[in-house]
Amino acid sequence: MHQKAKFFLQTLKFSIAGFGKYTQKQPHVHHHFIDCCPWIKMRKCHSFKCLQNKYKKLISGRNITSQRWSYMDLLNTEQENTKSLLINYTDSMERFKKKIEAFYDKYPFTLDNLEIRFGDFIYYEEDGCILRLKLGDDLNNCEVLLCLEELSLYNAFVERIRISPGEEYMAASIKTSDSEESTCVIVKLGKYPEVEDFIPNVFSFEWAQDGLLFYTCQKNLRCCDVFRTSFGNKKHTECVYTEQDPRFFVDLYCTRDRYFLTINSNSKTTSEVWLIDCHQPWNLPVLVQKRNSGIRYHIEHRSNELYILTNYGEPAEYKLMKTSVNSRNMKNWQLIYTLKRKTKLIDMVMFKDHCVMFLKYCNQLYLNSISLNDHSIQSLKDGTSVPVTVFFKRNSEDLQKNPLLIHVYGAYGIDLNMNFKAENRMLIEDGWILAYCHVRGGGELGLSWHAGGCLNNKLNGLDDLEACIKFLHNLGFSEPASTALTTYSAGGILAGALCNSNPSLIRAVSLQAPFLDLLNTMLDMQLPLTIEELEEWGDPSSDDKYMNYIKSYCPYQNLRPQTYPSIIITTYENDQRVPIRGILKYTQRLRKVIMDQRFNRDHGKKIPNIILDVQAGGSHAAALWEDSIIEVAKRLAFLYQELRLGDTGPLTNPHFKTS
């Protein structure tokens, strides 16, 4: 590895820049759908229009006001403007599309197909079908249980599969790329699979017994109700839990030993769990521990003891504790194991006699196996990583002249996505440097790392990002004129803030479904996620401290006449999480400050290209594979042109000198 890079990776270890109450039992009627596959016996159902016609219903049900017409005029203007600007990139886009497809062929990579093992069978999804294969059997003996194509769902995919304890029933959630809502399909298993029911808008679901399903429904991006429904001869549905606090989101989990279902009501910082005994599922849920602000916990079960993963107590990192099922209160929790500070908990899996923790410390991955008998710990470590991860082509002589693509996110305690993508491999072979900045607000170094970059610490993430880019430049990784920044969703806050505070650090920016109008979003309590997001950003409507603090870094609020980098923004018409209206406002205001005549006359700067690419349909940063390839090709064509590279990259461009 390049000596400077080694020094960089060794030394960049410093801190950069420094459930509610129960409701009355209510009947809940399922909406039924069409007859299905000719080879799958289907009970008589009503019209199946939930997924195919969702968009048409939304359009027809809207109240078109003068404000709506104004919004549509603005959107149409933006689309026409984008169409005219993208003409300059058409040839490059087509070449990049072919090039990316070739790299996907050369380096095939697909996400693992959904697969679960239950009893003597493996249930898995393949090519839009759910199949079942007996362990040890040849693949030719697999049995088709459900086919999406036969349900006329051509752009749908299987999101989750759950099998009832006696393998009499299967529940599967089906989702399309242009919506966040799923439909749960209930299949009666046996010699001839029988589609028994469809439940719309389902988020999570678990079987308590054969023919008895618990599930949550998602409405307006919220889950607050838990329903219990029975199948067979005595079909009945009722609501068993309702969460009253809009900050909390409800989902279901089945303990690994299948003894309890847990109703998990979580806000961004606080948890409350209720237990449903799978042996007595008709009883009311039982509370484990009443919610306490700032305390998170998750429940597993073994041998009449609850194992609790929680941040309760000091230090403020995750711990494993236990208590008797009959002594659930927090005062009875006994400490077993504590994560060391700045450790990220990735996952926890319970087995009969031990618990395995999947952990990451300073981006170093390792496992801790904890004996549940004597609480002894065995550790297995592998791999090394640091707060900034850098990829570049071997044997490059002058990295300072090579283009640099910065990746950042820094929100919700979520790790920056570093999954393999063929287009990133293509960029590296073209001579690009890829840098992933694991700034505060993300989850790479545990709970304290997230806490250090949210609420009134959000500017720490911006400081980290600026310091990372400057440090990379100082170490000889590219220069500002050859540096681009890319991010998505909430990462748009840091990217937009950087464009306002220090735009000279970067030449071009690519944003996908970016969150840019933070202040107005957090002031609008009618938006579906505002209340839930208060614990990440703060409440500007009731606290002047947060009002002023958010104002100080909100990308939309801080736009001003200056030299901005060129920016391409991809947004989606059906995005409920980052509504298109806020992005339209940001784009219009950005263009206005750029075109300020006094600024342009005084400085004589080149006007940056600002492109708003509105994708028809599509939910939050989601697209079909073919559409996704076209989007990637479009963004790459933009970046190559803005950084003045040839389509084949810096390795063949006379302006760049590498070996």
| Catalytically active residues, by annotation | 489, 575, 620
- Identity (one letter) of the amino acid at 643? L
Containing 602, the helix (H) or strand (E) segment is helix 597-603
Compute the radius of gyration of the chain from its Cα atoms: 26
Tokens 């493996």 belong to: 122
Interatomic CA distance for residues 229 and 211, integer angstroms:
8
User: What is the H or E stretch that residue 130 is in?
Assistant: strand 129-134
Angle CA 307–411–114, to nearest 5: 60
3-state SS, residue 579: coil
Read off the tokens for 132.
């079942």
Among 348, 350, 323, residue whose Cα is nearest residue 334: 323
Q: Which residues is 230 bridged to in the sheet?
A: 212, 236
C-beta of residue 346 within 8 angstroms of C-beta of residue 447: no
Give the type of residue at 315.
Answer: P
Do the Cβ atoms of 651 and 430 come closer than 8 Å? yes
Distances (CA, A) of 261 to 6, 168, 275, 353, 419: 49, 19, 6, 21, 32
Helices 544-553 and 458-474 meet at what angle, rounded to 10?
20
Nearest of 502, 508, 493 to residue 404 by alpha carbon: 508
CB neighbours of 435 closer than 8 A, spacing ≥ 6? 388, 389, 390, 391, 404, 405, 406, 407, 468, 472, 477
Instruction: Write out the two tokens for 560.
Output: 């001003």
DSSP-derived letter for residue 307 is E
Which tokens is 313 given?
Answer: 């107590």
Query: Look-up: residue for tokens 């088709």?
Result: 144
377-382 and 364-371 beta bridge pairing = antiparallel
Q: Are 308 and 333 in contact, with CB atoms under 8 Å apart?
A: yes
Cβ atoms 444, 481 nearer than 8 A: no
Residue 317 to residues 174, 310, 357, Cα–Cα distance (Å): 36, 8, 14
Give SS3 for 533.
helix
